């Protein structure tokens, strides 16, 4: 996972959500099909893809996909 586009693809693959680049800046509540439960799946997938530790607690508090991406890549 090198770019935010890869990340969007990953979200689509793992969570089965029809998300596009336009969704990354949205508040998660406004992303179609989003459910906080999905974060459990996403957290594990992110660590597998990036090969690094993702700060779970901060991701759980994130309000957008963009923020999750930044946290996942260590930004």
Phi, then psi, of 27 in degrees rounded to 5: -65, 140
Selected binder of other proteins within 3, 5, 6, 13 (CB under 8 A): 13
Considering the rule CB under 8 A, would residue 9 count as an interface residue with other proteins?
no
Strand partners, 64: 27
Rounded Cα gap, residues 8 and 45, in angstroms: 12
Q: What length is written for the chain?
A: 75
- Using CB under 8 A, which residues numbered 23 to 42 contact other proteins? 33, 37, 39-41
- What are the residues binding other proteins (CB under 8 A)? 12-16, 18, 33, 37, 39-41, 43-44, 56-57, 60
């Amino acid at each position: 996972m090198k770019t935010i586009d890869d990340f969007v693809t990953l979200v689509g693959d793992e969570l089965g959500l029809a998300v596009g680049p336009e969704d990354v800046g949205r508040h998660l509540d406004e992303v179609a099909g989003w459910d906080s439960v999905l974060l459990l799946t996403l957290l594990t997938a992110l660590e597998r893809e990036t090969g690094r530790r993702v700060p779970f607690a901060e991701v759980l508090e994130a309000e957008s996909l963009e923020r999750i991406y930044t946290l996942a890549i260590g930004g």
